Amino acid sequence: MRARPGRRLVAVLGSVALAGTLAVGSASAEPTIPSQDDIDDSRAAQQSTAAQIAALEVQLATNAAAADAANVEAAVAAEAYNQAAVDLEDAEQASEAAQVAADQADAAVLVASQEVARIATAAYRNGGDLQQLSMFLSADGVQDAVHGATTFDRLGGNATDALGELDAAELVADIMHERADDALAEQEAATAELEEASDAADAAAFTAQTTLETTQSERAGLINELAALRNTTAELEAERQTALEQQQRDRENAAAAAAISAPVATPAAPAAPATPAAPATPAGPSTPAPSTPAPSTPAPPATPAPPPSTPAPPATPAPTPPPAATPPPSSGAGAAALAWARTQIGKPYVYGAAGPNSYDCSGLTMRAYQNAGVNLPRTTRDQYAAVSHVPVSQMIPGDLIFYAENGRIYHVAIYAGNGMRVHAPRPGGSVELVPIWWTNVLPMAGRP
């Protein structure tokens, strides 16, 4: 049967419409090819993001270094305050002793004067004249009599001896009074120096605290920026930065320990931080905090984790020096000092304090050895000068670890064995038992 013309037209039109639809669909499915400008813009954006991330990480490291330096300066200022306090105490004792000596010299002058007067009175009663007696009793008469040969001849040998003793006593008294005046001036100068040192210590401690607070605040902002650039969360970025900072500190500490062949603490198994943490800053050498250095549970170095958008490869520990052989146990005063220092753990650091409720670093070591029957000076510098010196590689528990920068000794700790120390770290910290922070450690330890 032949199709009707109308039906053929509909079929033809339908075929044409279907072909057109297929053609349109095929055209819309064709991919858009990026231009060279698009590629260049994308690469520039990636490079800009990478540069921003690098700059932020450099700023984080710079902030941590600034906090460390501020804590060291605070420790130096605290030791200067301690030294000024010791100098004032010495000056007060010297002034007091000089005044006592001057008073004793005045008493000797009085006794000698009385003896001269007694001889003169006796001479008058035995026939002397009133003019001769008045010479001895007048203000200048004694000196005139001392130098008057005629008078000596008239009064005899006893008078000559008495006048000589009086002359000598007055000379000694003059010297003693000059020394007392000088000692008093030194005391006043020492008082002024102590006030200046106290102000400087307060200012340095304030600067360290302000620097720490500022860097912590900036750190939070920088981490938020890093999270936005890496398309992660602030919490994950904070954990990553904390791990990177700890890794850097571990490397620095291991390098410093290796440089002086020092015993190091065996690292514990790594543990990811549960919450974001501010970078530790050493104050003076303090717990990774001086002010602090090495943390109480250091994690072994790990390769920085990539952005969370890609799986993180397993951490690859960096080479670390093997733990030193366990040192021989201490005995005697060192063991007793260390044992006593451990009982003070948890008590706050206060500069210039030497117990019983708070300590600075040298105050703690002084009291520890005092309780072991050994007297140490008050300041770190004087303690270093007062002890025997042994290489830090040969330390035994109870030995003293000293820290210095640019020739300034500013911190002291007690070696507790196995790479650990007991010390009073910095303002805001407390006496603690932590791994040794080896940066700035003097190569010679002290053994009282």
Q: Between these two residues, 377 and 256, which has the higher pLDDT value?
A: 377
Mean local confidence (pLDDT), 241-265: 81
389 is catalytic: no
- Residue-level pLDDT at 294: 38
Q: Which residue has the higher pLDDT, 150 or 407?
A: 407
pLDDT at residue 435, rounded to an integer: 94
* Model pLDDT, residue 299: 40
pLDDT score, position 122: 67
Residue 2 lies in a domain: no
Whether 241 maps to a domain, the answer reads no
Q: Is pLDDT at 130 greater than 50 in this prediction? A: no
Question: 171 and 289, same structural domain?
Answer: no
User: How far is residue 83's CA from residue 246's CA, in Å, rounded to a whole number?
Assistant: 35
CA nearest to 426, candidates 353, 341, 370: 353
Let me know if residue 54 belongs to a domain: yes
Q: Which domain range does residue 194 map to? A: 50-219
Provide the pLDDT for residue 42: 60
Average pLDDT of the residues in 29-50: 64
pLDDT tens digits, one per residue of 335-392 = 999 999 999 999 999 888 998 999 999 999 999 999 999 999 999 999 999 999 999 9
DSSP secondary structure letter of residue 19: H
Residue 63 lies in a domain: yes
* Side-by-side strand order, sheet with 444-447: 388-391, 444-447, 400-405, 408-417, 420-423, 432-435
Q: In the predicted model, what is the mean pLDDT of residues 408-432? A: 93
Structural domains of the chain, count: 2
Lookup: tokens for 268: 């514990």
Q: Which two tokens stand for residue 158?
A: 């006893």
Residues 154 and 84 in one domain: yes
The domain boundary residue, chosen from 199, 219, 239: 219
Q: How far apart are CA 293 and CA 282, in angstroms?
A: 4
In a domain, 22, yes or no: no
Q: What angle do CA 379, 412, 90 make, to 5 degrees?
A: 5
Do both 214 and 295 map to the same domain? Answer: no
DSSP 75: H
Is position 234 within any domain? Answer: no
397 has pLDDT over 50: yes
Q: What is the CATH number of the domain that holds 168?
A: 1.10.287
User: For residue 140, what pLDDT band results from cuts at 50, 70 and 90?
Assistant: low
Comparing 52-66, 245-259, 416-430, which segment has the lowest mean pLDDT?
52-66
**Can you give the CATH number for the domain in which 376 is found?**
3.90.1720.10
Can you give the three-state secondary structure of 211-277, one letter per residue? HHHHHHHHHHHHHHHHHHHHCCCHHHHHHHHHHHHHHHHHHHHHHHHHHCCCCCCCCCCCCCCCCCC
Only one residue has tokens 């530790």, namely 280
234's torsion region: left (phi>0), alpha (psi -120 to 50) or beta?
alpha
The whole-number average pLDDT for the span 233-241 is 83
Using the predicted structure, report yes or no on whether residue 235 has a pLDDT greater than 60: yes
With bands split at pLDDT 50, 70 and 90, how would you rate the model's confidence at 124? Answer: low
Cα(398)–Cα(423) distance, rounded to whole angstroms?
12
Q: Which residues pair with 432 in a beta bridge?
A: 423
Considering the domain architecture, whether residues 287 and 394 belong to the same structural domain is answered as yes
Active-site residue among 147, 177, 389, 411?
411
Task: Write down the catalytic residue from 147, 177, 389, 423.
Answer: 423
pLDDT tens per residue, range 48-77: 666 776 776 677 777 777 777 777 887 888
Do 206 and 292 lie in one domain? The reply is no
- 54 with 173, same domain: the answer is yes
Which pLDDT belongs to residue 339?
96
Element (H, E) at 141: helix 141-146
- Cα angle: 363, vertex 191, 356; to 5 degrees: 25
pLDDT band at 315 (very low <50, low <70, confident <90, very high): very low
**414: confidence class by pLDDT, cuts 50, 70, 90:** very high
Are 398 and 295 within one domain?
yes
Q: From residue 346, how far is each of 51, 85, 279, 306, 358 by CA, in Å?
A: 44, 25, 21, 39, 9
Does the residue 210 lie in any domain?
A: yes
Calculate the average pLDDT of the chain.
Answer: 72
* Predicted local confidence at residue 182, as pLDDT: 83
Q: Could you read off the pLDDT of 168-224 as tens digits, one per residue?
A: 888 888 888 888 888 788 777 878 877 787 777 777 777 777 877 777 777 778 778
Domain presence at residue 431: yes
Neighbouring CB atoms inside 10 A of 322's CB total 8
Among the listed residues 390, 253, 395, the one whose alpha carbon sits nearest the alpha carbon of residue 321 = 253
**Residues 6 or more apart from 44 whose CB is under 8 A from it?**
none
147 in catalytic set: no
Q: What is the pLDDT of residue 191?
A: 81
Instruction: State the first-to-last Cα distance of the chain, in angstroms, to the nearest integer.
Output: 125
Residues 286, 141 share a domain: no
pLDDT number for residue 316: 41
- Residue 356, preceding bond cis, omega within 30 degrees? yes
